Amino acid sequence: MSEQNANLSEYIPDVPEHTGFKKVVLELGVANHPGVMSHVCGLFARRAFNVEGILCMPVGSGETSRIWLLIFEDERLAKMIRQVEKLEDVLYVNQHDGEHPVFGRLDEFFK
């Protein structure tokens, strides 16, 4: 048991360094209606989790959409995915490695 704290001051922790360099691709099945993208992107933005690339298109009859996210691997990723899975409009989340071809052939549109 420690002595009474002699140096009385508030301790404010530093912001931890998070972002790594390895890329990860997330595949999200979502309900297709206005606002779903804000729910998903807002969740990443609030946690200062930088999303490098986003692709979203309706699937089949348009009841659902698929969102592809390109992000940097980060120690918080597993926690982040559990938060994304909690969103009411998110139906499933699959994690792929950064080499997944979905973003591969888009280079020519970003020249």
Partner 1 sequence: MQMTGADLIVKLLERQGISTIAGVPGGAALPMYDALSKSEQIHHVLCRHEQGAGFIAQGMARVSGRPEVCLASSGPGATNLITAIADAKLDSIPIIALTGQVPLSMIGTDAFQEVDTYGLTIPITKHNFLVRSAKELLTAIPAAFRIAMSDRPGPVLVDVPKDVQNQMVSFEEYPDVVVPDAAPSFDLGAIEEIAKMIEAAERPVLYLGGGVIHSGASQLAVTLAEQASLPTTMTLMALGAMPMDHPLSLGMLGMHGARYTNYVLEEADLLVCVGARFDDRAIGKTAEFCPNAKIVHIDIDRSELHKVKTAHVAIAGDVGQVLSELLPRVKPQLRKRWLSHVESLKSRFPLAMPGVDNPRSPYGLIHAVANCLDDSAIITSDVGQHQMWVAQAYPFRRARQWLNSGGLGTMGFGFPAAIGAALAEPERTVVCFSGDGSLKMNIQEMATAAQENVNVKIVLFNNQSLGLVHQQQNLFYGKRIMASRYERPTDFLKIADGFGMRAVDLDPAPNPRAVLAEALNTPGPCLIHATIDPNEFVYPMVPPGAANSEMIG
Nearer to partner 1, 13 or 101 (CB): 13
Nearer to partner 1, 45 or 106 (CB): 45
Cα separation, 98 vs 26, whole angstroms: 9
Binding window for partner 1 (CB under 8 A); candidates: 18-26, 49-57, 59-67, 77-85: 77-85
Q: Which of 57, 79, 94, 106 binds partner 1 (CB under 8 A)?
A: 79
What sign does the dihedral 93-97-44-62 (CA atoms) show? negative
Cα separation, 4 vs 68, whole angstroms: 53
